[in-house]
Amino acid sequence: MTRFLVRRVVAAVPLLLVVSAATFLLVALVPGDAARSIAGRNATPEQVAQVRTELGLDRPVWTQYIDWLGSAINGDLGTSLINQQAVTEQLNARLGATMSLIIGATVVAAVVGVTLGVLGARGGWLGRTVDAASLIGFAVPTFWLALVLVVLLAVKVAAFPALGYTPLGQSPSQWMASLFLPVVTLAVPATASVAKVTRDAVSDAMQRPFVRTLRAAGVPERAIIARHALKNAAVPILTIVGLTFIGALTGAVLIEQIFALPGLGGTAVTATAAGDLPLIQGVVIYFTVIVIAVNLLVDLAYAFFNPRVRVS
């Protein structure tokens, strides 16, 4: 297992290099000029050129990338071109909001989705209901659901705030309240996916010979599902939960904009509009590291729940 972890960590290094290099290239091709944004709309071409030279933006892209990579290896992701603040400090300050949103949505989707999937695996009208609910969850647009929740629970009832974010350390109750609407919005389509995969996986496990043997031995149905069927269905369930977490990173960009959450998604949008390459690069690196960490945790969970997939 230790060698497996080491191999996965080492394999992540080329991925980070490829992603960071591709980001530099793509940003260079995207229309926009950070020097123009900093100098102002009324700046002369000479003033814009001077700002570009001061920031080092007049150098070849590959030279800028090598300089950035040398600093990144030492833990320095550079300085924002727009506000001249350290990229690491800005992203660390916004990481909490994004991780709270993503982890919250993933936990809700996993708990509710697995529960519905297990209930639906028994077949009959309940199974058909889970399938129908899954289709509805897939079809509902996220932005529409967000607006409906805001109107119902923030405007008419005023039960939860529609905008803003309260850090956990400041007030746990207000932190939960500020995350309720965005977490529910992000969790609904993910719950549909988890419920459908869980239902199919548990249904397949319940058709296997060992289940018939357990039933013949008088083992209660609940114990068969909880101790045996779910364990055998763990791999597809863990896979969809991991994909749900990763997919929530993309969904967080939209959700943070709608609910005005100060997270990485909103930072990525702002940095892209301003052409702030160091800040864009920092967000990409943070997202990539999160994805690598989640994939590693899913692999470890595979080995825990199913010894047949363990590697030495």
Return the higher-pLDDT residue of 303 and 104: 104
Residue 261: closest CA among 162, 141, 173: 162
Tens digits of per-residue pLDDT, 76-91?
888 887 778 888 898 9
Mark whether 146 and 52 lie in a shared domain: no
Q: Is residue 80 in some structural domain?
A: no
Mark whether 69 and 102 lie in a shared domain: no
Q: Is residue 52 in some structural domain?
A: yes
Query: Which of 124-133, 242-251, 257-266, 292-301 shows the lowest per-residue confidence on average (mean pLDDT)?
Result: 124-133
Mark whether 159 and 196 lie in a shared domain: yes
Output the pLDDT for position 155. 87
Give the mean pLDDT of 282-309.
81
Give me the CATH number covering residue 275. 1.10.3720.10
Backbone angles phi, psi at 158, to 5 degrees: 60, 40
Final residue belonging to a domain, choices 17, 46, 73? 73
Q: What is the mean pLDDT of the chain?
A: 82
Final residue belonging to a domain, choices 73, 97, 124? 73
Mark whether 8 and 96 lie in a shared domain: no
For residue 4, is pLDDT > 70?
A: no
Q: Is residue 186 in some structural domain?
A: yes
Number of structural domains the chain divides into: 2
Output the pLDDT for position 110. 92
For residue 102, is pLDDT > 90?
A: yes
Mark whether 97 and 122 lie in a shared domain: yes
Mark whether 113 and 49 lie in a shared domain: no
**Can you give the chain as a three-state secondary structure string?**
CHHHHHHHHHHHHHHHHHHHHHHHHHHHHCCCCHHHHHHCCCCCHHHHHHHHHHHCCCCCHHHHHHHHHHHHHCCCCCECCCCCCEHHHHHHHHHHHHHHHHHHHHHHHHHHHHHHHHHHCCCHHHHHHHHHHHHHHHHCCHHHHHHHHHHHHHHHCCCCCCCCCCCCCCCHHHHHHHHHHHHHHHHHHHHHHHHHHHHHHHHHHHCCHHHHHHHHCCCCHHHHHHHHHHHHCHHHHHHHHHHHHHHHHHHHHHHHHHHCCCCHHHHHHHHHHHCCHHHHHHHHHHHHHHHHHHHHHHHHHHHHHCHHHCCC
Tens digits of per-residue pLDDT, 207-266?
888 878 888 888 787 888 777 788 888 888 888 999 889 888 888 888 988 898 998 888
Q: Is residue 237 in some structural domain?
A: yes
For residue 21, give its domain range: 2-73
Q: Is residue 78 in some structural domain?
A: no
Final residue belonging to a domain, choices 73, 97, 121? 73
Output the pLDDT for position 272. 79
For residue 312, is pLDDT > 50?
A: no
Residue 133: closest CA among 201, 183, 198: 198
How far apart are alpha carbons 97 and 222 in whole angstroms? 38
Mark whether 191 and 286 lie in a shared domain: yes
For residue 45, is pLDDT > 70?
A: yes
For residue 100, is pLDDT > 80?
A: yes
Mark whether 218 and 164 lie in a shared domain: yes
Q: What is the pTM of this model?
A: 0.82
Return the higher-pLDDT residue of 133 and 171: 171
Give the mean pLDDT of 154-165.
87
Q: Is residue 283 in some structural domain?
A: yes
Mark whether 226 and 158 lie in a shared domain: yes
Mark whether 128 and 240 lie in a shared domain: yes
Mark whether 210 and 99 lie in a shared domain: yes
Mark whether 136 and 43 lie in a shared domain: no
For residue 1, is pLDDT > 70?
A: no
